[in-house]
Amino acid sequence: MSTLMNVEGDLEATGELKGNISDPDKSEFTTSIIKLVYEGIDWKASNMPATVLSASSFKGNLHLGCQGNGKIYVFDGSNYSESTDTVCEDIRALIPFGHILFAAGKGYEVGKIYTTNPPTDEWVVSTDTSPFPAWSLCVYEGKIYAGLGNDSSFSSKIIYNDGGWYDSTTLDTNKIYSMAVYNGKLYACTSVGNSTGGKVYVYDGSSWSLSTDVGQSIDLTSLVVYNNKLYCAGTNNTIYIYDDNVWNTFAIEKGSRMGVYNGKLYIGGDNNGKLFIFNGSEWAESTDTTATSCTGFAVYNGKLYVALDIGVYEKQDSFMQIMSKNHWNQNQ
């Protein structure tokens, strides 16, 4: 008799039975005795006590930036605790850099960049960006870059830290939603602002230039690198894909934020709670939450966490439904 157990996505047996189910395309494994049906990946909602806008893994914990109260929470794998309460309304971005965690804070014409202060990791203000709220953070060539934007003046700028904070560029938009590094260059996507549409700008280390103008009254909200291509999400049911110096489009249900996990691209819905998954060739719906928007992704302890306006969802391990062959034959 064989004893079955699930070990890191592999179904193993002490007898002759062994089947690898780590590939979702291998949905069934049949032997002369039993049939195993792959049930996919489940999602579990957490008991996070606030609306989450940003998430980042740092020093063995998951840090979460919140909306409305400006708080940052810490999740140790079991429990949530408050890390700090800032004077900002929202914590729009979190990113680790060396032994320091950076946080981008915003309010109405209020902006601050916070950092943890080693060795106690007490939060301090690194710079006051007012009247430009801080929206995004990115590490590029050994420096932290911050995307700022003012809704009232329809102006924005990108600053960087090199022993102090300095201006990198000024743009005619009211938000720098997201930044990412691709092929040795820094890319930044923007909101509509007072121009005709969201844009993507690129920095080569010495100057900024326009990479693409989508030409529509939409916000471009997220940039990630996946399979050696740059992906940009917008609020018009479209994903923009940059490859070989050409921008292409792909139609998909509204998405606002993206993340990469275990070789797949995930996108969270805008104005809906759906999470989609892309395996490099096909899109599929991963789950439909009760949220109205997705605000970010983070990998912590080998699992994918998604920040939503209702809290946090955690991606669970795969599992198998095991049935005897006789039971399966009787219930087809």
User: Per-residue pLDDT tens for 165-194?
Assistant: 999 999 888 899 999 999 999 999 998 766
pLDDT value at residue 49? 65
Alpha-carbon span 166 to 121, nearest angstrom: 24
pLDDT value at residue 326? 41
Taking the CA atoms of the chain, what radius of gyration do you get in angstroms?
22
pLDDT value at residue 296? 84
pLDDT value at residue 195? 61
CA dihedral (318, 264, 178, 189) in degrees, to 10, reads -150
H helix intervals, the chain: 325-330
Vertex 169: Cα angle to 167 and 174 (nearest 5)? 105
pLDDT value at residue 182? 98
pTM: 0.81
* Sign of the four-CA dihedral 261, 259, 280, 253: positive
Burial class (CB in 10 A: 0-12, 13-18, 19+), 142: exposed
Q: Are 314 and 43 in contact (CB under 8 A)?
A: yes
Listing DSSP states for 88-136 in one string gives: SSEEEEEEEETTEEEEEEEETTEEEEEEEETTTTEEEEEEE-TTS-EEE
pLDDT value at residue 319? 43
Topology (CATH level 3) of domain 46-315: Methylamine Dehydrogenase; Chain H (2.130.10)
| Domain extent listing, the chain | 4-41+319-330, 46-315
pLDDT value at residue 36? 39
pLDDT value at residue 152? 78
pLDDT value at residue 317? 57
Q: What are the residue ranges in the chain where pLDDT is below 50?
A: 1-41, 318-332
